[in-house]
Amino acid sequence: MAYIKNTWYAAAWSHEITRDMLARTIANEKIVFYRTESGEVAALEDRCPHRFVPLHLGKLKGDIVECAYHGLCFDASGACTLNPHGDGKIPRAARVKAYKVVEKHSIAWLWLGEAERADESLIADFSVLTDPSFQTVSSYLHVRANYQLISDNLLDLSHGQYIHPMFANAEGPPRFEPEKEPADHEVWAKFSRPNQYPNKYFQMLGYPSDQRGDHRNFMRWSSPSLLLLDVGMTGVGRPVEEGLSIPTSHLLTPETDCTTHYFWAMSRDFRQEDVALSEQLLRVGVAVFDDEDKPVIEAQQRMIDNSELMSLNPVLLQTDGPAVRARRVVEARLQAEQAS
């Protein structure tokens, strides 16, 4: 399966990258991440070019990785700095690929493609994750399904009515507002429930259960698979700013063709100091994503085996519009990249 190379992937939460080497496969490329002594993130091909032992099995000495097997040393640029054997000559081919990584919004963003095209300004806006006026809880989930099956899930939140008791509503699935504009790098999937009683989630967050209001679930998808949900509830007809708002980040990174790194976070601009609420939100997120979405998406993956979903001619509903648009954006970028 082909992946867009010249784009930013969420490789890790910043806090995951330390002085202990972290091995992680991204879009089928095996990579070892570590933090240099000066605090930068280094990302190297996780395979010694000598005998192909994973570098993460070795030792980090200063900013240098020493291979576990025969002690070849590589610096953060991927250059071999020491061959401790025989005449000590370093063969020209003795180097590993070094990847460009940028830290922003508490995420380590990885560029798989040509380093000279790695433009930081292309990173989608997830500033909410580090905005001091928000309190954020975050986690990581490993899913045995292709990343696009998960973005399909997130771009059609009507599933909440069926899969997530906490998000279901007595009046049925939400109203869907189809997008009019053609998609470029972004797709919006807007679901709303005007003038309804709060679901269990908003009740938990403090919205009075006997009071109607306007719910919104506006999902922003950025290529290749970075999603930010503007989810909130406010009084009927009242401005958004008055109500509860919990921007929720979903960063999907293909690991292999059939597995995905799923980084998620829930931010809020109310009761920021309430530790119990933070813990509760984390528990809810784990319950919803791990226990409710994941089994269904993995069953879907097993059902389609290794096929590409669209090649199986799925029946399409109106609510699939955003997911289909997003897949088209990815496909177009892939083809453009392969053509050039």
Least distance (Å) between residue 33 CB and its own copies:
17
- Based on the shown chain and the rule CB under 8 A, indicate whether residue 319 belongs to the binding site for its own copies: yes
- Based on the shown chain and the rule CB under 8 A, indicate whether residue 194 belongs to the binding site for its own copies: no
- Based on the shown chain and the rule CB under 8 A, indicate whether residue 327 belongs to the binding site for its own copies: no
- Based on the shown chain and the rule CB under 8 A, indicate whether residue 165 belongs to the binding site for its own copies: no
Q: Which is nearer to its own copies, 66 or 100 (CB)?
A: 66
- Based on the shown chain and the rule CB under 8 A, indicate whether residue 172 belongs to the binding site for its own copies: yes
Q: Which is nearer to its own copies, 85 or 238 (CB)?
A: 85
- Based on the shown chain and the rule CB under 8 A, indicate whether residue 304 belongs to the binding site for its own copies: yes
Nearest C-alpha neighbor of 331 from the set 202, 180, 225, 193 = 225
Residues 23-52 that bind its own copies (CB under 8 A): 30, 47, 49-52
Specify the stretch interacting with its own copies by CB under 8 A; choose among 122-130, 158-166, 180-188, 324-332.
158-166
Residues 80-139 that bind its own copies (CB under 8 A): 83-87, 89, 91, 93-94
Q: Which is nearer to its own copies, 135 or 158 (CB)?
A: 158
Nearest C-alpha neighbor of 301 from the set 334, 264, 256 = 256
Q: Which is nearer to its own copies, 30 or 104 (CB)?
A: 30
Distance, in Å, from the CA atom of 61 to the CA atom of 156, rounded to the nearest integer, reads: 47
- Based on the shown chain and the rule CB under 8 A, indicate whether residue 75 belongs to the binding site for its own copies: no
Please answer whether residues 321 and 152 qualify as being in contact, where contact means their C-beta atoms are separated by less than 8 angstroms. Answer: no
Least distance (Å) between residue 84 CB and its own copies:
5
Least distance (Å) between residue 52 CB and its own copies:
5
Residues 266-295 that bind its own copies (CB under 8 A): 295
Q: Which residues bind its own copies (CB under 8 A)?
A: 30, 47, 49-54, 57, 66-71, 83-87, 89, 91, 93-94, 152, 156, 158-159, 161-163, 172-173, 176, 178, 295-296, 299-300, 303-304, 309, 312-320
